[in-house]
Every structure is written in structure tokens, then in C-alpha cells.
Structure 1
């Protein structure tokens, strides 16, 4: 009986081994038959980078899609890439097969933000940390709902400064300052002014060097940014030590990071906390500032929509003015037209035009081979501007969001496990700013009102120079300088 059992075990083992061999051979044969997607790889090494930057990048990608279809290859920024321009492909990469694609960033940028920042990772560390950050920035009474009065105060302060003397301002630059202050509030709550100024000063140096050529030659923007990043770490270490000594339980992001423990009881190191604070500041500032700048431009360019938004906000404003109350969370959640304007602005501008992933194995999609190590780029903007999913896509029409868009066709905050965890905070600051802007102020765009520049996010030409002023009580003229 023992011999028979041993023979049966050997037979089962050999059968399993043979089946595995057949499956692997079938997969290899399938991969061998699969071919690379159509497209051009351009010149050796530089690929098609020059072509992409010599024209509007959106035209570059749209032209490629028109010629080759929704899946095509190219070579940009020193990397062979597969571009994907369909909702199904985006879902494949970012949702259903996300484990086969890792987020990828240049090492030079990792050094400036910090290698432990959330968006450089995947797996257990990423899942735990993303959940923590998302919970700390989610709309519940203990988190961002508590930030409403503080954000409203920042909005009023910013608008008052813009309107002072009716001077022309760079709207985008001012929006960056405002978004930075909101990020500070969400991360630290109330922070000592000395720390605030030191952090601001050094972060601005890092920000300037982030998209510069990564060289360590003394005096270059990148080298200055590296030194400033080191100083940021030292300042944050002091803040963390003080918070630990006080042992105060605070519901800001820093408090959540300090109180974090994984399933094994492990806490985050100071470096991990610092890297993620810098990462949140980076993610919260440029994209939100760009989105707000576009909201103002689209409202300015569409006076009838602006008038309708003013009418919606006027009801809330008058109710609060009579009772001398500030905005409430319930009021912010009840701004349907304004919210649709923001969604349409995000679709039109497509601040995040695409995202980078890297294939961790050879794999096949739609009969095409995606080799291991190649960059894979879902093209959000191509999808957002496709007439197949959004009728008359170049027309600014907030009413299109009265009905929810088709699945995987609208991704202003990304998609899947790496979607932006702070999107609710971004919506809160945008709605609050629009409310106070249209009920108390007027503005006009100065100079050319067309053109887009990339730095790297798309913004209106020259940062949308504009002049703001407070509306007098007697004036009932139409908004936006029209």
C-alpha cells in the first residue's frame, strides 16, 4: 500500500509539472506571436521627444491616435512607450491588472520629494499609507469638514490681497500660494509662523528645481533644490519631535501619520513621515492651482454660465449674510451647478493629461506585446476630448455632467489604487473660492485670452494675468468684467 501511495504521489507531481510546462510554453508561444503595437520610435535614443515638444503635446498624441488607433508605440524622454487611448485600456492598466504595472518616476524627482512618498510605491506599504492619507482627507466631521472655516478664511484673505489696488496679478502664481496654504492647514493645522516661513522658503526652492536638468553642479537649480530638500527634512524633524513631546492628539494629516501602526505594530519613521508630507504638498499645489486658474478662465469666457453660477451662490451668500454665518459643509455640498462647472473645467483642461506606469512583466493586450520595462501611458486627455464619449468636446458645457459619464471616460484625479487621495479636499477649496469670488468680487483677464503653456501642467498663457476688485454694494453689473 505504501509503494502504491508513493507511486500515486510521484504520478501527481509529474502530471502537475508537465501541465505547468505546457501552460508556460503556450504563454511563450502566445507572446512570441504577439507583436509590438504600431507606431514610430523616432531617432535613436531621443526618439520622438523633440517632435512632442515642438508642438502642443495634445496634438502630438491625438495625431498618433488618429493614425495608429487606440494602442500605439513611441519613444519619448529616453524611454520606449506604449500609449493607450481607450477607457478599456485605462481600466486594464490602472484597475484590473494594476499589479502588472508599477508607478515610475525619474530618480532625480524621487530624491527631491523623498523615496518613501506614497506615489512611488505599490503593494502593502502603498495600500496602508494611501488609506491613511485618504481617511485623513475624507469628508467626515473629524477631518476635512473641520477645515471648512479655516479654508474659508484663507479664501477671503487671498481674494482681498488680489483686489488690493486693482493691480494685475498672475492668477496661477497666486493660486499656487493659496493651494499651498490650504495644504499646510490640512497637514499641520495651526503651525508656528517661524516654521511656516522656513518651510515655504525651502519648498519654493525645491519646486523651482523639480523640473530642471538634474545635475549636481553647484549653483544649478537642481543642486539648490537638493540642498533645500535636506533643510526641509531637518525642519520637519523638529516639528515632528515637538509634536511627539506634546503628545497631543490632532486630526490633521501629521497627527494621522504619527499615530499610524501597521498590522505588525510598526510605526512610520521620521523620513517616511517627511517624505509623505512633501509628497502631499507637491500633489496638492500645482494641480489644484492649475484647475482653479482654468475655472476662472472658463467662467470669464462664458458670461451666461457665470451669471447662473452667481445666482446659485447668491442664495447661500444672502442666507449667511443675514445671520452673519460662515459657509457650512452642507452648503458646500449643495452647489450642483458650480460643481458641474468644476467638473467640466477639469475635463476641458485635463490637468493630468496622462500617467506613467512601467510593465513589470512581458504581457499582451489586444493582441499586442507590451515588453517588460517599457513605459505604459494611459492618455486621459485623449479620452476626455473624444467625441465618442463627450459630444462636441471642445465646447465648454457643464450641463453634460447632469448625467454621469460612462465608466472610465472621466478621470481628472486618476483611477484605481493610485487615484488622488486628496480629491475631496481639492473640491472643497475650489467650491469655497468660487463662492466668495462670484458673490463679492469682479475680475477681468488682461491681455491675450488664448494660448496654453506647460510647466509641466497646462495653464492659460502667462498664468492668466487678471485684475480683481471688490464689488460695491450699489453695483449690480455683470460679473467677470463683461
Structure 2
């Protein structure tokens, strides 16, 4: 009798597990789901995505599925059902639906570090405020009137310091340079006088950000949260000090937040802290990654470096005084430099995926994305497609000479798209162009150790790219 009961229980368990797996593999949908596989229960296909790829090409996880299923497919990552798109029409539609049928969404690990309980994914008044505030401090007008000469001074000082060393690990050194400059604009941070080393704390955050979200001592994620807590605690103290004493005001980004906190109900202390933290982190990671990749690509393509140098030498020759500071008109005249930056951004894949969440069922191109599913737009799959660009893995800045910028803007979106296009896009381009201007006109470099570029899944450089910088003699 007990044998029969035992066998019956086993049979019921097998039936239950079989039904559960079948349900997992065939999610409910009020329409036609994109083709694909949900992978293993709970885990999904996460492990395949987080395997590093040592190539600038589309990550193998994405590429294999695009070849098998087409430009729109479904999967499951970190326990969530996801639709992944490498279709330009689909991508642009999703961006236009922001605040209507989709909203900004973050992975749980990133959400805990950057979003917390704030309304960072909000649209309307809140998003308009965030964007306008960043544009006021980092947009074209302030770049033209104030930031450009400060950038040039910062780059000159940094490269002189680098040239005094035996070699420099470019990614880390560039991260420190950009973070210190941005922090000066946002919170009046002075790296030489401050007792807080911001770059070390942000390095802890980035090292553990993409790790498995296991918050126990010794893990990368634990160190990530610890680093985040140190920075946000410092920013919180700074906001309290600024609000309590007018004498501490500096006219910077954080001062504007402190002033506006009395006017805008949504602008809480927590919201303000994470807003500043997110802004600092964005510059710390993205600009430095693109700059490091640019050095790697320029080192492999001397003809590009030669034309780049010629463009900037011509700028100096056209000045009445060659030692005059860089002007906004000169920046705007850097045609080939901006082509180099565009090409580096195209190959760089700094943002491997832009995430949204469906607020309701979304139907497009014959497919239905169920409510609450995650949507991952993968821009690099379009950047690196031979249908978009000839020889897509080749570093060829000249290709941008005859490209229709309007048509290409729907494909190449290194700074996001729609309402969420990065407010710091022009700031990033100006910083990169200024750095290249100072470097090619006043310094030279010798690569001591090249970097093994990897997607992990964000752009990484193995053990680092080590370069010896030297100041040119007159």
C-alpha cells in the first residue's frame, strides 16, 4: 500500500513539474509572441549572456539568436521574460511609446544602486525637470560659455601629469580625470583638497555592478553596494550642509537642487542624492571607456591618427595666436574628429542594451509583448550589421563623410533615443574632442601594453591598456 502511495506522489510531482516547465516554456499571450526560447526555469538563458565576449562584434548570445529567430525574439534573463529587438522600426516605436505603453526599466541590481525608491523612470514634469537641470549645467550653452576652456585646462594638466609617469593605465586614469572634472561642476569637488577619494568609491561600484546580486561580505555586489553607500552618504551630508547655510553655496548643480527642493515636492533628499550619484557615475564610466577604445583603435590605424593630427594642426595655424584657448567655432569645425568619435561610439557598444517595461500589451509587427514583460533594445546589433554599414567591424571614420545623418540617427543611438536620449550627449562629444585636440597637438604616446577588449557585458579592457605619454618639444 505504501509503495502505491509513494509511486502516486512521485507521479503527481512529475506531472506538476512537467506542467510547470511547459508553462514556463510557453508563456500566456493575448496574441503571437516573438519566436525564441525561455531557457531553463528561473535561470532562463542568463548564463549565456554573462559569458564575456572578446570581440567588438555583437555578443554571441544576441548574434546566434538573431540568426536563428530574426531581429525580434524572446528569452528569459535573471528570472524575467524579455523581448530583445535589433529591428530599427520596432526600436523607434518603443522609444516613442515612453510614458504611454512602456516605461523605463532597470535590472534589479542596477535599480538598487541607482534608482532606489525614487521616480527616476517617471515622465512628464519630473523627467522634464531632470533633463532641463542637466542641460542647464552640461548642455551646449554652458559648454560654449564656460566649460570648454575649463575642459581644455583640465586635459592639459592631466596629460602633463601622465607624461611624468613611466606609463598610465588609460581606462582608470581617464575615469579619474572625467569624474573629477564632472564632480567639480556638480558638487564643487576638488580632488587635490578633498579627504574623499571619489574615483576609488566609484571603482568599487562598477566592479561589482554586473556581478551576481548576492549581498554578502566578500562578493563583488556587496562591495558595489558598500561603495554606493559611501558616496551617497557623502552627497547626503553635502546637501544638508548646503541647505542649512547659504555661505556654503557655490552655484553648482547640487546648489540648484537644494534651491529647488523648496519648490518641487518630488525633489526629496533621496531623489536628489541618487540624481547626483547617477550623473557622476555616467561620466565616470562611459566617456573613459570610449576614450580608451579610441586610443586602441588609433594605435592600430596610423592613417587615421595622421589625418586627425593634420586637422588639429590646421586649427592652430589658422589662429592669430597658436597658444589661444580652444573656441566653440573651432570645436564645430572638427569634421574628421567628430567622424572618429562617431566611429568609436559605433564600435564601442558602451550601452549593450536599453531596457523598457511594457505597461500593457504592446502589439507591433505581428507580435504581442505581454504586459509587464521587459523589452531590451540592442543598438549594437544595428551598428554592427552589414545591412547598416559596409564592413561593420572595420574602424573607418571616413564612412561618416557621406552618411545621411537623419537616416542614420534612427539606427545609431549611442546616447539612447526618444524622451530618454542622454542630456550629456554633447558634453561627452566635446570632452572627447577636446582631449583629442590637446593630445595630438601637444603630446605623443607609446603603447606599452595593449588591451584585450571584451564585452562583459559592458565594454571592458582586460588587464588594462598601458601607455607612455610624452610632451612634444617646441
For the Cα contact (< 8 Å) 1:42–1:48, is it kept in 2?
yes
Alignment CA distance shift 1:94-1:133 (3 Å):
same
- Pairing of 1:206-245 with structure 2 (within 5 A): 206-244=205-243, 245=245
Alignment CA distance shift 1:251-1:82 (3 Å):
same
- Pairing of 1:356-367 with structure 2 (within 5 A): 356-367=355-366
CA RMSD of aligned residues (A): 2.8
Counterpart of 1:246 in structure 2 is 246
TM-score normalized by the length of structure 2: 0.84
- Pairing of 1:359-398 with structure 2 (within 5 A): 359-398=358-397
C-alpha separation in 2, matches of 1:383 and 1:65: 11
For the Cα contact (< 8 Å) 1:144–1:186, is it kept in 2?
no
Higher mean C-alpha displacement, 204-213 vs 382-391 = 204-213
Q: Secondary structure at the match of 1:387?
A: coil
Structure 2 residue 201 is the aligned partner of structure 1 residue 187? no
C-alpha separation in 1, matches of 2:355 and 2:424: 19
Higher mean C-alpha displacement, 451-460 vs 110-119 = 110-119
Alignment CA distance shift 1:104-1:190 (3 Å):
closer
Higher mean C-alpha displacement, 52-61 vs 35-44 = 52-61
C-alpha separation in 2, matches of 1:175 and 1:265: 36
Counterpart of 1:337 in structure 2 is 336
For the Cα contact (< 8 Å) 1:117–1:276, is it kept in 2?
no
For the Cα contact (< 8 Å) 1:136–1:251, is it kept in 2?
no
Structure 2 residue 34 is the aligned partner of structure 1 residue 37? yes
C-alpha separation in 2, matches of 1:260 and 1:95: 29
Question: Runs of at least 4 residues of structure 1 off by over 6 A?
Answer: none
Counterpart of 1:414 in structure 2 is 416
Counterpart of 2:291 in structure 1 is 292
Instruction: Point out the structure with max Rg over C-alpha.
Output: 1
Counterpart of 1:150 in structure 2 is 150
Q: Secondary structure at the match of 1:373?
A: coil
Q: Secondary structure at the match of 2:75?
A: strand
Alignment CA distance shift 1:462-1:119 (3 Å):
farther
Length, aligned pairs only: 439
Higher mean C-alpha displacement, 245-254 vs 331-340 = 245-254
C-alpha separation in 2, matches of 1:276 and 1:319: 42
Return the structure number with greater helix share.
1
Q: Secondary structure at the match of 2:82?
A: strand
Offset, 1:218: 3.6
TM-score normalized by the length of structure 1: 0.82
Q: Secondary structure at the match of 1:99?
A: coil
C-alpha separation in 2, matches of 1:228 and 1:74: 32
Q: Per-residue CA shift, 1:264-321, capped at 9, x if unaligned?
A: 7547232222111101011111111111111112221111111111011112335569
Q: Per-residue CA shift, 1:393-422, capped at 9, x if unaligned?
A: 122221222233414111010101111111
Counterpart of 2:8 in structure 1 is none
Offset, 1:455: 4.5
Q: Secondary structure at the match of 2:463?
A: helix
Q: Per-residue CA shift, 1:150-186, capped at 9, x if unaligned?
A: 2222212221222224x23221111111121122122
Offset, 1:461: 4.2
- Pairing of 1:25-424 with structure 2 (within 5 A): 34-54=31-51, 56=53, 58-96=59-97, 99-115=100-116, 119-140=120-141, 142=142, 145-165=145-165, 167-189=166-188, 191=190, 194-195=193-194, 197-244=196-243, 245-246=245-246, 251-260=251-260, 266=265, 268-318=267-317, 322=321, 324-402=323-401, 403-405=403-405, 406=407, 407-424=409-426
- Pairing of 1:448-463 with structure 2 (within 5 A): 448=450, 451-463=452-464
For the Cα contact (< 8 Å) 1:58–1:381, is it kept in 2?
no
Q: Per-residue CA shift, 1:85-136, capped at 9, x if unaligned?
A: 1110110111245532222223443333342667544443223222222232
Question: What stretches of structure 2 of length at least 5 have no aligned partner?
Answer: 1-27
Alignment CA distance shift 1:55-1:64 (3 Å):
farther
The equivalent position to 2:436 in structure 1, one of 423, 434, 437, is: 434
C-alpha separation in 2, matches of 1:54 and 1:205: 21
C-alpha separation in 1, matches of 2:108 and 2:346: 30
